[in-house]
Structures are given as C-alpha cells and as structure tokens.
C-alpha cells in the first residue's frame, strides 16, 4: 500500500477537501425506441467520459440523464447574477479532461493548490502552519500503518495524539474531506485514497462546463431510467413514460446511493456481492452554501480554500472570492450537511452566519443577507456525496470494477484511489467506455 505523501506547511491534504476528439453528435433519438452499441445511464463526469470514449471509437451511443441537464453533482446556477457551482467548483487538470474541455473552446483558470489556515480572526503563523501540517502527516501515517497491518477499523480509532490540532485534523479528513465522521470510515478505504490537488476551474462554472462537453454527445436529458432488462440478446432499458432503448452494452454511471436505494430495477437482479458492496459504501454528506461577501475583508486571492482551526462552532471550509468576485462558498459535511439538506436555506443561513462570526470575527458576514444552499442529500437523483467505505469493509470497493453481465460501472465510487473526485469519476468513465467497446467488439 502506498504511503501517504507528506505535505508542506501550506499545501494541505488534497484528499481532505475532491483521448481523441469525439464525433460531433447526432440529433436526439426517437421517443419510442432506439438502438445503440452502448447506452450510458447517467450524464455526470463518468458518463460523459464514457460516451466520449465510445464516440471516439466510432461506436453508436446514447447518454441518458434523468435530470434536466447534464453534470451530475456538478451543477452551476446563476442565482447571484454570476455562475455559482452548487457542487464541484474545481478539478484536477488531467490530460484527458483538458482534452475534452479543449473541444468546447471554454477557457480554464488556475486555482491555488495550497490552503490558507486561519486561527480566530487572523491567518496562522508559519509555526502554526507547520504544526498543523505535522499533525496531518502523523495522522496519515497512522491510518496507513493500521491498514497495512490488516486492521480495517474505524479511522478515528487509529488517530494518533495530535494535541490542539486533533479536532481540526479529524474534521478536515472526516466531514470536510469525505462527508462522514471518522468513526464511520474504514482505515483501508481512507488509506488507499491518494488524490492530486484540484488546480483548475472555469469562470463558466464546472457544472456548465460539463454541460458543454455533454452537448457534443448524443445526450438525452429528462430521461429517467426505471428498469434495465438483460435477459435477451440486447439490454432493454425502459424510461419513465415507456420509451425503450436497446443496447449491446450498458455503462451504469449513476451514484452508488441511487443504486442502493433501488431507484432502477434490474432483471436479473444485481448479484449479492455487488449489493453487499453498495451497503458497505453509503454516501457521505456534503453541502455548499453560497453568499456574497463584499470588500474582501479576509484579504484572499481568487479561489483560495481556507481551513479554520476547530473551535466551539461546527466545522466548515471556505472557498473564497470565486473567480475574483464577492461570491464565497462555505462547505459543510456530516451532521451539518444533513441539517442543511433537511431544513434548506434556514439551516444554511444559521450555520454559515455562525461559522463566519465565530471563525473570523463578529464583523465578518454581518451584512450577508442571502444564502443559497445545495441539497444533494435530499435530491433523489443524487442522494448524497461520495461513497465511503465503513469500517471492516474497505476491501469491497474493488467489487465495483467488475462488469455485471453486459453492464460496466463508472463513477467516483469505482475508483480505488481517486474516489470522491471529479478526476476519479472521469477516469472510471474512460475505462468503462473502453470495456464497453471491447464487449460489443472492436478496437479499444
């Protein structure tokens, strides 16, 4: 098992935060029936990547998305008069993803890969950066050593003594990193996670960017799949309303929590090894709250991510000055994310105001009156954030890499080491596309 990478005093743990050109597409397929070499269910990053790979190989495809627009957990809104990403707002600029972006003509921007650290109402001193970085490093090594010893226990039980930084480390790795308290996270699953820092974004919005990429493909939105029948020569996919799609292979790129909830019926049913793995990988809970904070009172550069030393207030992270504007985003995980999903913007406003006041001082945020929150956990098409292994089940993630009959899985949860990231989801989509091409016959 790979040992965790040590971090510098300013480069905080990234995992605690997230081809050839395809053929330009074809018109929408028929409402009653359609045939394709490969049907891709779910037009998030993984589904889009799979569809691009299939299209590049010259195979026919259809990309089915239940929501009104593509993007999955990357969704851009204009509620503040500017693009606001309710989900992923940055990504790792992998070569494959950048090639897809180049096809759209959309410009990307660099974002800082380092993290700011605040204590009270001021930035940490160099010695405090170093102390926190050391605490993170000790914790990573302890979790990795526990996993290497074959002990798949709760990550919280493997934490070393970190003194005054213990609560902050636990928050950054747990609720703010994967949406779950470390008491409910497998040491093996967490130790295997090895992600690169997110270093790119776009003024268009990440959700809108994925929509642009999807628009070059044979995508159909508002196409909710209700069942997949794999008993015949072809897979038969039935949509809400009765339309039918037939395909020689299927890429299943919907969130693990949606599959676990039984939102899609399968005939034959999913094998027990797979359903057991779904149960062992429940969704973490993470929500974003956007607000305008004029005047840059924290003195932040555009797109900086700020962590705050834990105190009496609920933990949160702050994405500051999105694309150089007054737009800021507070990120909550775990119990606070659950509260936001359940109570909406009332809870979002109270939690964010309290966080700003307690973390940065009474005057910060005093003039903020409008808060807009995501509610991924309450969205039946999403049902939470990344899939996270529970203690004792960290080895089951590998089950997701195996085809299920004519179906190949794709999504962040399929990646053994990049889970929970847009880049990880994209990479699994590419692999799924290649497997689908091989399944229907043809060069990869």
Percent of the chain scored above 70 by pLDDT?
92
* Mean pLDDT score, 404-415: 96
What ranges make up the beta strands (E) of 143-261?
200-201, 219-220, 225-229, 235-239, 244-252
CA distance linking residue 307 with residue 7, whole number of Å: 15
- What is the band of 9 on the pLDDT scale with cuts at 50, 70, 90? very low
* Mean pLDDT score, 103-130: 92
Question: Does residue 45 contact residue 429 with C-beta atoms inside 8 Å?
Answer: yes
Higher-confidence residue of 11 and 424: namely 424
Q: SS3 for 238?
A: strand
* Residue 11 pLDDT: 35
CA distance linking residue 317 with residue 332, whole number of Å: 7
CA distance linking residue 168 with residue 156, whole number of Å: 13
Percent of the chain scored above 90 by pLDDT?
82
* Residue 283 pLDDT: 98
CA distance linking residue 195 with residue 421, whole number of Å: 8
Q: SS3 for 284?
A: coil
- For residue 198, pLDDT over 80 is answered with yes
In this predicted model, what pLDDT tens digit does every residue of 277-289 receive, in sequence order?
A: 999 999 999 999 9
Higher-confidence residue of 7 and 292: namely 292
* Residue 443 pLDDT: 64
In this predicted model, what pLDDT tens digit does every residue of 246-258 receive, in sequence order?
A: 999 999 999 999 9
* Residue 21 pLDDT: 32
Residue whose structure tokens are 């969205």: 379
* Mean pLDDT score, 6-15: 32
The continuous run of DSSP H or E covering 307 comes out as strand 304-308
* Residue 264 pLDDT: 98
Does the domain spanning 114-196+284-378 belong to CATH 3.40.50.1820?
no
CA distance linking residue 151 with residue 187, whole number of Å: 8
* Residue 126 pLDDT: 96
In this predicted model, what pLDDT tens digit does every residue of 221-243 receive, in sequence order?
A: 999 999 999 998 899 999 999 99
* Mean pLDDT score, 86-104: 95
Compute the chain's Rg from CA coordinates. 21
- For residue 109, pLDDT over 90 is answered with yes
Residue whose structure tokens are 């590419």: 430
In this predicted model, what pLDDT tens digit does every residue of 28-87 receive, in sequence order?
A: 333 334 589 999 999 999 999 999 999 999 999 999 999 999 999 999 999 899 999 999
Question: Does residue 104 contact residue 216 with C-beta atoms inside 8 Å?
Answer: yes
CA distance linking residue 190 with residue 223, whole number of Å: 35
* Residue 441 pLDDT: 87
* Mean pLDDT score, 96-104: 96
* Residue 19 pLDDT: 29
Residue whose structure tokens are 């308290």: 181
- For residue 341, pLDDT over 50 is answered with yes
* Residue 28 pLDDT: 39
CA distance linking residue 125 with residue 119, whole number of Å: 9
- For residue 25, pLDDT over 60 is answered with no
CA distance linking residue 438 with residue 436, whole number of Å: 5
Q: Taking the CA of residue 43 as centre, how many other CA atoms within 13 Å lie in the half-sphere pointing to its CB?
A: 31
**Nearest Cα to 344, choosing from 311, 315, 318, 378?**
378
The continuous run of DSSP H or E covering 267 comes out as strand 265-267
What ranges make up the beta strands (E) of 286-441?
286-292, 304-308, 317-320, 327-333, 372-373, 407-409
β-pair partners for 317: 331
Question: Does residue 22 contact residue 103 with C-beta atoms inside 8 Å?
Answer: yes
* Mean pLDDT score, 115-125: 90
Question: Does residue 70 contact residue 210 with C-beta atoms inside 8 Å?
Answer: yes
* Residue 14 pLDDT: 30
**Nearest Cα to 16, choosing from 143, 157, 202, 146?**
143
Task: Indicate the domain borders of the chain.
Answer: 28-111+201-282+386-440, 114-196+284-378
* Residue 444 pLDDT: 57
Q: Which letter, b or e, does each residue of 111-132 get, where b requires 16 or more Cβ atoms within 10 Å of its Cβ?
A: bbbebbbbbeeeebeeebbebb
- For residue 196, pLDDT over 70 is answered with yes
Q: Take residue 230 and report the two structure tokens written for it.
A: 């794999």
Q: What class has domain 28-111+201-282+386-440?
A: alpha beta
* Residue 432 pLDDT: 98
- For residue 430, pLDDT over 90 is answered with yes
Among the residue ranges 140-149, 188-197, 356-365, the one predicted with the least confidence is 356-365
- For residue 18, pLDDT over 80 is answered with no
- For residue 4, pLDDT over 50 is answered with no
Peptide bond between residue 268 and the one before it cis (omega within 30 degrees of 0): yes
Note the pTM of the prediction, 2 decimals.
Answer: 0.91
Q: Do domains 28-111+201-282+386-440 and 114-196+284-378 have the same CATH topology?
A: no
> Percentages helix, strand, coil for the chain, rounded to the nearest 5?
35, 20, 45
CA distance linking residue 432 with residue 413, whole number of Å: 13
β-pair partners for 201: 109
Question: Does residue 306 contact residue 271 with C-beta atoms inside 8 Å?
Answer: no
* Mean pLDDT score, 391-396: 96
Among the residue ranges 15-29, 33-47, 263-277, 423-437, the one predicted with the least confidence is 15-29
* Residue 277 pLDDT: 96
- What is the band of 17 on the pLDDT scale with cuts at 50, 70, 90? very low
* Residue 34 pLDDT: 58
* Residue 366 pLDDT: 78
* Mean pLDDT score, 122-133: 95
Question: Does residue 40 contact residue 62 with C-beta atoms inside 8 Å?
Answer: yes
């Amino acid at each position: 098992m790979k040992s965790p990478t040590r971090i510098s005093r300013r480069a905080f743990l990234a995992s605690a935060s997230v081809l050839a050109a395809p053929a330009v597409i074809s018109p929408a397929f028929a409402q009653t029936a359609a045939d394709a070499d490969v049907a891709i269910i779910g037009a998030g990053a993984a589904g889009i990547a799979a569809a691009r790979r299939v299209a590049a190989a010259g195979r026919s495809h259809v990309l089915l998305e239940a929501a009104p627009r593509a993007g999955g957990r990357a969704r851009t809104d204009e509620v503040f008069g500017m693009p606001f990403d309710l989900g992923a707002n940055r990504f790792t600029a992998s070569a494959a993803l950048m090639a897809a972006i180049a096809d759209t003509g959309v410009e990307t921007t660099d974002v800082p890969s380092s993290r700011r650290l605040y204590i009270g109402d001021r930035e940490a001193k160099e010695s405090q950066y170093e102390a926190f970085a050391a605490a993170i490093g000790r914790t990573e090594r302890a979790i990795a050593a526990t996993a290497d010893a074959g002990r798949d226990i709760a990550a919280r039980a493997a934490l070393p003594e970190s003194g005054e930084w213990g609560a902050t480390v636990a928050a950054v790795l747990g609720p703010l990193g994967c949406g779950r308290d470390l008491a409910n996270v497998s040491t093996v699953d967490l130790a295997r996670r090895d992600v690169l820092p997110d270093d790119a974004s776009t003024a268009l919005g990440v959700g809108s960017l994925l929509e642009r990429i999807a628009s070059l493909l044979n995508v159909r939105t508002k196409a909710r799949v209700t069942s997949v029948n794999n008993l015949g020569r072809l897979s038969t996919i039935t949509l809400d309303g009765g339309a039918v799609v037939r395909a020689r292979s299927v890429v299943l790129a919907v969130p693990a929590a949606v599959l676990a909830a039984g939102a899609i019926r399968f005939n034959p049913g999913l094998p027990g090894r797979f359903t057991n793995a779904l149960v062992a990988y429940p969704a973490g809970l993470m929500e974003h709250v956007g607000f305008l904070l004029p005047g840059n009172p924290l003195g932040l550069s555009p797109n900086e991510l700020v962590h705050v030393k834990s105190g009496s207030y609920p933990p949160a992270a702050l994405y500051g000055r999105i694309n150089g504007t007054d737009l800021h985003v507070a990120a909550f995980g775990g119990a606070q994310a659950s509260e936001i999903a359940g109570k909406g913007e009332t809870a979002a406003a109270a939690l964010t105001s309290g966080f700003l006041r307690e973390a940065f001082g009474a005057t910060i945020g005093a003039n903020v009156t409008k808060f807009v929150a995501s509610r991924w956990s309450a969205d039946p098409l999403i049902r939470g954030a990344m899939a996270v292994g529970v203690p004792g089940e960290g080895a089951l993630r590998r089950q997701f890499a195996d085809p299920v009959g004519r179906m190949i899985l794709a999504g962040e949860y399929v990646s053994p080491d990049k889970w929970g990231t847009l880049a990880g989801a994209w990479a699994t989509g590419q692999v799924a596309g290649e497997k689908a091409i091989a399944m229907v016959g043809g060069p990869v």
